[in-house]
Structure 1
Amino acid sequence: VEKNKKQFAGTEIAGKTLGVLGLGKIGVMVANAALELGMKVTGCDPFLSVESAWALSCDVRRAKKMEDIFAEADYITLHMPLNSSTRGMINKEKLSLMKKGVKLLNFSRGEIVDTDALAEALETGRADRYVTDFPDEKVLKMKNVIAIPHLGASTEEAENNCAVMAASQLRDFIETGNIKNSVNYPDCELEPSSEFRLLVMNRNIPNMVSQISSLLAKGRMNIVEMLNKSKGDYAYCIIDIPEKPGRDIIADMLKIDGVIRTRLIRK
C-alpha cells in the first residue's frame, strides 16, 4: 500500500479559494463546510433567498456576478437549476475567464456545462479537472474527468424527507397561499397580516399589478400588504386585505386579460 501511495498524491484545499455558483440549500451547506475546512469562499446567486442568506456564513464573500469569481477561484462548484438561462452557461467564454488549472465541480445538471468547450479546456489545461455526477458518453471519454454515480436523494432518509416536504409545502399553499418549489410559479411567501388574503395567478405581462390594485381601490378595498413575483411566463400576487371582497370584484378581476385564477383565504 505504501509503495503505491504516490499515485494518489494531490493538493490540499486549505487556503485555496472556492467559488460557489448558486446559493440554495445545498450551495449554502457546501460554502459553510468549505470554510470549516480552511478554504476561502466566494459565492454568487442573483436570486439568493432570505432563508438562504440567514443560513450562509458571514465569512462567505459575495460576488455580484459570476465573472468576479472566475479569475481567483481554484475550485468552482455549480449548484443551480437547469433552465433556459443556465443551459450551456459554462461555455467557452466563461471557461476562458477562469483561473488556469481550475477544478470544476458540477453537481447541478450536465447540460449547464458546454461539453465541447469543456473538452477544449481540459485538453489545453485551462481546466485541470472536471468532477460530475451527470456524465454522458462524451464526458466519460474526456481526460481528467472524475465521474461518479448520481445518487441525489437516493437515501432512505431523503426519500422520507422529500415526501414530508412535499406534503408540508402543499399544506402551506392550501392554508396560506404561499408557493415554494413550484415548477412554473415563483417562490412566493408572505406571513399573513390581515383576516383575508386574495391570491391571483396571472400571466407575466406588463400592467397586471396596476390593474389588480386599481380594481381593489375602485371597490374601496384597502391593501394591508402585497407581494408580487414572476417566473418565466407566469406571475403570482399575494394580497392581504382587511375585509372580504364582494363577488363583483372577484368577477371583474377574472375578466382582466392575463388573470388565470383567483382564490380567497380567510385566516
Structure 2
Amino acid sequence: MYSYLCLNTIEPTALEALGTNFVPTDELSHANVVLVRSADMGLTVLPPSLLCIARAGVGTNNIPINRASEQGVVVFNAPGANANAVAELVIAGLLMSKRNLFSAATWVTQIVSESNALAENKSLEQVIESAKSTFIGHEITGQVLGVVGLGAIGVLVANKAVALGMRVLGYTHSDIPSTLSSRVEVITNLDELLANVDVLSLHVPATPANHHLLSKKRMACLKPGCTIVNFARAELVDEGVLAQVLKTGQVGAYVSDFPNATSIQMPNALLLPHLGASTYEATAACAHIAVQRVKNYLLNGCIEQSVNFGTVDLGPRNGASRMGIFYANQGEDQKIIQCLCNADVQIGRTAASFNQTGYVLIEAQGNLRAQLGVIMRMSGVIRARIIDE
C-alpha cells in the first residue's frame, strides 16, 4: 500500500485512477508519492518515505531535482499534455494583439461606466461607433509568423497558423518533426528568420544557453513593427531592451503569459496571468499522465520519461518479483547483479540507465527480499526496494 500527498488540487478522476493500492495522506513525512502542480517545493525536506514526485504539468523549476536524485526520488512530469492548450492561447493572443481586441473591449467597459459617456446627447451606440476607428487592426492572413522551437507546442502553433492562412517560418536545432506541416518553411539561421517575420513566437526552454535569446542585437534584426509572442518563459527576452524598442516602435507589440514588475510598465504589451495550460482539458490530461507514471514506477518498478532518471522499462510485472536499485557510480549495476548471482538468485531480465545517478531494475526468481539488506550495504548504493506486491 502506498500513500500519496497532493500539494495542489489534482483532477479527482486521476486520483481515482490510482486504484486501491494508494491511499491519501496529509503528512509529508508519511508520503510515498507527492502530486504537485505549482506549489513550491524548493526548500522542502524530502522524507525517507518519499519514492517519487509527480508534477501534473511540464515545468519542474518548483521541484528540487538535484536533491531528489541524490536521494533516489524519481521526478515525473507530463510534457505534451498541455501543448494544445498553450498553442490555442498563442493563437488567441496573436489575434487579440493584431486586432487590438483587449484595448477595444477595455474602452467599451470604461465608456459605459463614465458619467460623461453620453455627452452631446449622443446615444451609447453612437459614441461607440464614432470611436471604432481608434482600434483598427491587422488581419493575420498573409502575414509571416516565425516559430522559434519546433517541439510539441511549436509544431501545433505552426500548423494552426498555416491553417489560418499565415506564411510560417520555423527554426529548430533538432530534427524536423514528422507532424510539422509541409507548408512550414524551416530556416536554419535565426537572424535570417528574425528579419523576415511580422510575428515572432517563442517555444524553447529557459536553459542557460537560451537566456536572453532575444538580446539587444537580435531585436535589432527584427522587421520594424514586429510583434513578439512569448508563451515559453520570460527569461528568453531581455525585457530591459524590449521596453526601449517598444517605445521606439522597432517592436510593435509584446504578448506574454509572464507579467512582472518590468513588463507591466511596457507600452503595447498584452499580458496574461500565466494561463497557458489553464484549461480543464489540459489540467485533467496532465494529472492522468502523472498518475500513470507513478503507478508504473511503484507497481512495476519502471521509469518512463522522468526528468532526473533515464527510461528503464521491463513492462508489467505479471507476478514476478523485482528489485529496483539506485546507485551513485557508473558500472555499479553489474556489481549488484553479480552479488545477487553469487547468492544463487536466478536473474531473469534487467534494465538500467545512468544519468549522474543510476537505476537498475532486476527481475528474478528466488528470495530477492532476503538480499535487500546485502544490496543496501554495498558501496555506492543509494536506495533499493522490492516490488512484489
TM-score range, shorter chain: 0.5 to 0.7
Q: 1:4 aligns with which of 132, 151, 167?
A: 132
Contact 1:20 1:31 in 2 (8 A): no
Cα offset, 1:132, TM superposition: 0.7
Paired residue for 2:142, among 11, 14, 17?
A: 14
Matched, 1:32 2:159: yes
TM-superposed CA distance for 1:138, in Å, is: 1.9
Post-superposition CA distance 1:153-181 (Å, at most 9, x none):
43444443343232222112224422436
Greater shift, 186-195 or 30-39, is seen at 186-195
CA RMSD after TM alignment: 4.3
> What is the TM-score of this pair, normalised by structure 1?
0.67
Residues 187 and 45 from structure 1, CA distance in 2 versus in 1: closer, same or farther, beyond 3 angstroms?
farther
Q: TM-score, normalised by structure 2?
A: 0.50
- Structure 1 Cα separation of the partners of residues 303 and 171 of structure 2: 27
Higher radius of gyration, 1 or 2: 2
8 A Cα contact 2:169 2:193, kept in partner: no
Aligned pairs, how many? 250
Query: Which residue of the partner structure matches residue 42 of structure 1?
Result: 170
Decide whether the 8 Å contact of 2:231 with 2:258 is kept in 1. Answer: yes
Secondary structure of the residue aligned to 1:137 is coil
| Distance in 1, Cα, partners of 2:267 & 2:287 | 39
How many percent identity over aligned positions? 23
The answer to which structure, 1 or 2, has the higher relative contact order (CA under 8 A, 6+ apart) is: 2
Corresponding residue for residue 92 of structure 2: none
Please tell me whether the aligned partners of residues 23 and 43 of structure 1 are also in contact (alpha carbons under 8 angstroms): no
Q: Distance in 1 between matches of 2:332 and 2:379?
A: 11
Q: Which residue of 2 aligns with 1:261?
A: 383
Q: Are 1:188 and 2:314 counterparts? A: no
Counterpart residue type for residue 188 of structure 1? T
1:85-100 matches, cutoff 5 A: 85-100=209-224
**Which runs of 5 or more structure 1 residues have no equivalent in the other structure?**
none
Instruction: Write the letter of the residue equivalent to 1:35.
Output: V
Secondary structure of 1:19's aligned partner: strand
Q: Determine the C-alpha separation between the residues in 2 that align with 1:153 and 1:5.
A: 34
Asked if 1:212 corresponds to 2:333, the answer is yes
Residues 147 and 171 in structure 2, CA contact (< 8 A), matched pair in contact too? yes
Q: SS of the residue aligned with 2:270?
A: strand
Map 1:32-181; keep pairs closer than 5 Å: 32-38=159-165, 39-44=167-172, 46=174, 53=177, 55-62=179-186, 69-176=193-300, 177-180=302-305
C-alpha change, 1:12 and 1:34, in structure 2 (3 Å) is closer
Secondary structure of 2:262's counterpart equals helix
CA apart distance, 1:141: 1.7
Aligned mates of 2:219, 2:323 — CA distance in 1: 47
> What is the letter of the counterpart of residue 134 of structure 1?
F
Matched AA of 2:142? A
Structure 2 distance, partners of 1:72, 1:100, is 10
Greater Cα shift, 74-83 or 213-222: 213-222
**Which whole-Å CA distance do the structure 2 matches of 1:67 and 1:265 have between them?**
53
Report if aligned partners of 1:34, 1:41 keep a CA contact under 8 Å in 2.
no
Which amino acid in 1 is paired with 2:164?
L
Mapped to 2, the partners of 1:4 and 1:41 lie a distance apart of 33
Q: Could you list the per-position Cα deviations for residues 204-240 of structure 1 after superposition, in whole angstroms to 9, with x for gaps in the alignment?
A: xxxx44443476579779997856464xxx545466x
Name the CA distance, whole Å, in 2 between partners of 1:54 and 1:210: 36
